[in-house]
Structure formats: C-alpha cells, structure tokens
C-alpha cells in the first residue's frame, strides 16, 4: 500500500495504479520521471524515464537494473523534437506541467510534444493543475485525441487536511513521516475524492486519460 501525507497525491497514485496496467506495448515514456517514481505501475515492455536532472535519473537506474528494461533519458520536455511522432505506446506526465515550473508558452510546447508522441493506438495520461491555463491546455489535448476522460481531484476536504498538516503541524508533506495515524487518515480522506471526481468546480487538479488519437498530426501543420 502506498501511503503519502497528501490525500490528493494518494488519490492520484491509486488512480494511476488502476489505469496504467491496462496500457501495454513496447515503449512507455514517463515524463518528469525523477527517480522513476512511476516505474512499478508501467506494464509496457520497456520503460523510459525522462527528466531534466541527471541525479534522480542515476538514482532511478540504481534501483532498476538493465534486466528490467528500464532506461533514463536526460532531456528538457520542451525540446523533444528528436523523438519521432507516433513512436510510444504510453506517455505519462504527472506533477510536471505546473505554472510555477513552466510559463504557458513552454507548457504549450511541452503539451504539443506529449500529444504527438503516442502512436495511433497509444495512450496519454497527464495531470494538470486547474489554473488559468487549464482550458487552453485542454483545448490542445482535444485537438489530438478523440477520447479524453477527466477525473477531477484535490477537493476542499483534501486541501483543508493538507493545509492542517503543513501549517498547523508544521510537517512538510513532501517528506516521509513515521506517523502511521496521519498516513492512514490521509488515505481515508483520499477516498472522499471519488465523491467529487466528476466536478471541476471545487477541485484543484485533473487527471486526464487520452486515447483514440486522431490520425492527423497537427504538429506537421504548424511547420508548414
């Protein structure tokens, strides 16, 4: 069982754990992989973790030997022109396309790359914050895929609990804690996310699962 202090992150992890095993094929690409945090959930024959920082990639490669068909790619997600369109069975991107990390121009470039990389029968699973760029980001995604399913999460209860942890108890949710009570409480609160998963209003994030890619590669049109 994967226990984290943030109920919203617990919900995200459990959702990925259910969805990613359904995607198989030869190549899986984890964008912003850090130390291959999502590796265990991939069921593609090969896993490629892509990150802009070398140290977490090295740490990931130490955890997963070559026999597991795990590979690291040191690259900027806004500069993936050398990766061919329609070459990947599964693309996953979580906790990466945030407004405090990328301005919208860079976010748009990254999204275009993420959308063009899956093969026609491939899938894209992406997590976005519901911010001022969300509608425009969703528009880009819809240009590439016929099937776009959204789970909204990060509801009021989760955010209140996370605020309590961070500001009242002075615990950084990003780091591990030995308090099993707090971890189990976080897991319990995460279950309430399923009550509000269909509503954009009141949530802070969205997990978007894309399939049935359109045959027209819009990235080629933009180059004409």
pLDDT tens track, the chain, 224 positions = 456 889 999 999 999 999 898 888 999 999 999 999 999 999 999 999 999 999 999 999 999 987 799 999 999 999 999 999 999 999 999 988 876 667 889 999 999 999 999 999 899 999 999 999 999 999 999 999 999 999 999 999 999 999 998 888 888 776 656 678 888 899 999 999 999 999 999 999 999 999 999 875 544 444 43
> For residue 191, is it within any domain?
no
34 with 14: CB under 8 angstroms?
no
215 with 165: CB under 8 angstroms?
no
> For residue 186, is it within any domain?
no
CATH of residue 72: 3.40.50.150
Q: Which residues contact 211 (CB under 8 A, 6 or more apart)?
A: 122, 123, 124, 145, 146, 147
Q: What is the distance between the alpha carbons of residues 155 and 204, in angstroms, rounded to a whole number?
A: 7
Prediction pTM value: 0.90
Residue 58 tokens read as: 């090295």
What pLDDT does residue 182 have?
86
What pLDDT does residue 205 have?
97
Residue 7 tokens read as: 């109920």
> For residue 68, is it within any domain?
yes
Q: What is the distance between the alpha carbons of residues 71 and 82, in angstroms, rounded to a whole number?
A: 17
> For residue 119, is it within any domain?
yes
The residues that bridge with 125 in the sheet, in sequence order, are 92, 209
Residue 124: which H helix or E strand, with range? strand 118-129
> For residue 173, is it within any domain?
no
Nearest to 158 by CA among 1, 15, 10: 10
> For residue 10, is it within any domain?
no
Q: How many domains does the chain have?
A: 1
For the chain, give the number of residues: 224
> For residue 110, is it within any domain?
yes
What pLDDT does residue 23 have?
85
> For residue 52, is it within any domain?
yes
List the domain range (segments joined by +) for residue 119.
Answer: 15-153+197-214
What pLDDT does residue 58 have?
96
What pLDDT does residue 219 have?
46
Helices (H), the chain: 7-19, 54-63, 104-116, 134-144, 156-163, 180-190, 218-222
């Amino acid at each position: 069982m994967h226990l984290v202090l943030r109920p919203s992150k617990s919900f995200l992890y459990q959702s990925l754990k259910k969805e990613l095993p359904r995607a198989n094929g030869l190549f899986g690409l984890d964008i912003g992989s850090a130390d291959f945090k999502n590796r265990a959930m991939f069921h593609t024959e090969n896993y490629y973790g892509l990150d802009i920082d070398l140290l977490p990639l090295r740490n990931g490669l130490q955890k997963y030997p070559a026999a597991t068909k795990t590979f690291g790619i040191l690259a900027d997600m806004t500069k993936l022109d050398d990766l061919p369109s329609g070459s990947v069975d599964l693309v996953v991107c979580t906790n990466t396309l945030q407004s405090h990390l990328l301005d919208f121009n860079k976010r748009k470039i990254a999204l275009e790359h993420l959308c063009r990389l899956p093969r026609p029968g491939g899938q894209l699973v992406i997590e976005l914050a519901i911010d001022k760029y969300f509608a425009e980001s969703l528009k880009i995604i819809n240009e590439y895929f016929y099937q776009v399913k959204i789970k909204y999460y990060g509801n009021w209860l989760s955010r209140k609990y996370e605020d309590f942890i961070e500001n009242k108890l002075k615990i950084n949710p990003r780091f591990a804690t030995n308090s099993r009570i707090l971890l189990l409480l976080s897991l319990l609160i995460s279950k309430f996310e399923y009550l509000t998963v269909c509503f954009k209003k009141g949530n802070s994030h969205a997990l978007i699962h894309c399939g049935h890619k359109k045959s027209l590669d819009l990235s080629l049109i933009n180059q004409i």
